[in-house]
Homo-oligomer: A and B are copies of this chain.
Amino acid sequence: MLTLSARRCVLSQRKSPLNSTRGHCDTAPPDVLDRVRTLLQLCADRYYISPGESNSELFRRGWSCSYGPLGVELRRNLLQQWWHSVTGSRAWVFGVNTVSSSPDREAGGARVIESERFQQILDQAELSREQLIQKLNRLLLSSPSVRTSLLQGALEQFAPSLEMVNKKLPFGLAESGLCFQPSDGSGCSAEVTQTSLVWFCSPRSSSQWLDHWARHRLKWWRKFALSPSDFSSTEVPENELEEKTSRGVKILYKFPWGLESLETLGCRGDAELLQTYKGIRTKLQTRDGRKSIPHVVSVSGNMDRGAMAFLSNSLQQLRTEDGKKRLQQRKVLKLHPVLAPVKVALDIGKGATVELRQVCEGLLQEFLEAKISAWPGYLEAVPTSLELLNAKYDEMGVLFTVVIGEKTLESGLLQVRSRDTTVRETMHISEIRNFLSKYISAADKF
């Protein structure tokens, strides 16, 4: 349940910059600000997002930002899992793709306007004030408007899809893609990578389907979590429901600064379908014998915020003592094996550098062919201690670190260190690929 204080926190959070989150959430522990800063710093240092304050702020708000290579891979993995889970969950869920801007979709919202044509009109000195306004209005209305969600596109795909499913309900249309959020006036782009499942079903079953998908989605989020209880679902109170929605459920994540919504589900009735097809009921009729129009259940997620939720969820901070009994803080990004952007890092120990690098090159190729994403640490020239190296890879969330040393050249044996257990094992070079493949696919199935 979204408690009142938590709801206040979400609301205040939307307007307030990072520095003012402390104090707003009465449920938040005093070290909130530290935890947020640590998370954002780690994400920038370890190639999840590009450095820079304004980029971190986009990221924290749950918007699409400049991602570094690890962030890109994390979001790719997440989107891929979502796609498989939604299109693979039922026989009749189909993927669609609609264009992000369209000439006649919405009257309001944002539009893509050609600067040159705009400028040309402003430059026409012979135009009176009224003529100028008229021309500009025409330009505005003829410019394509950008989508704020994937719902409308899916509704437009309903009729063409009916034939494919032999006019039978229920069925669903899935899509992921970029959507534009209404600007906050800062000139700051607000793009979000949304996922959408639009489910068409009979009117009497729509509430049950809402429950079905809410359970399905919460289970999915929790599957990849280190602390599953940070993900929750809540019924949207009646007075907070969107227009045209008779029931709603939200999947929430407990960020250090409060609860935020990752996915929104709603029973939307038939009004929007009818509106899309200009009330022509014959276009919407299905085979179920009755004359009723299908009802729509929408499931809409924000995968930029989703990626951030898993980063936040998987960051563990452990206090350990080093060799000289000094207290140190170890940060580990314990991302789920399926989501972790780098599965294995390859490094060299002491020994003949040229030969060791050749072994690494060969092993890297093997990993790439098996589609195991690998980090070529052996290319970094800066000599670093194994301790520092492990700390770095732990912060990157690298599942395993392989060190190739003199022994490997002699006997084919190498050292494999696990992120989660910190245990070092000795393994033969011929076994490592299979070991990793099996580890990852076992984690996918649990």
Contact = CB atoms under 8 A, between A and B. Distances in A.
Contacts of A180: 101, 112
A118 interface: yes
A283 to B, nearest CB: 13
A115 B108 contact: yes
B100 A191 contact: yes
Nearest to A367: B88
B189 A99 contact: yes
Interface residues of A, number: 86
Contacts of A337: none
Interface in A68-100: 68-69, 71-73, 75-76, 83-84, 88, 91-92, 94-100
Given A144-B188, A144-B189, A188-B144, A99 B129 contact: no
A131 to B, nearest CB: 10
Interface string A3-40: 00000000000000000000000000000000000000
A96 B137 contact: no
A209 to B, nearest CB: 18
A132 B140 CA distance: 16
B111 A144 contact: no
B371 A66 contact: no
A98 B50 CA distance: 9
A376 B166 contact: no
Nearest to A341: B95
How many copies of this chain are found per oligomer?
2
B96 A122 contact: no
Interface in A93-131: 94-103, 107-119, 122, 128-129
A136 B122 contact: yes
Contact of A91 (B113, B161, B364): B364
A142 B187 contact: yes
A67 interface: yes
Given A66-B97, A101-B191, 6 more contacts: A66-B156, A69-B96, A99-B189, A103-B187, A107-B115, A142-B187
Interface of A: 47, 50-51, 58, 64-69, 71-73, 75-76, 83-84, 88, 91-92, 94-103, 107-119, 122, 128-129, 132-133, 136-137, 140, 142-146, 153, 156-157, 160-161, 164-166, 168, 175, 177-178, 180, 182-183, 185, 187-189, 191, 361, 364, 368-369, 371, 376, 379-382
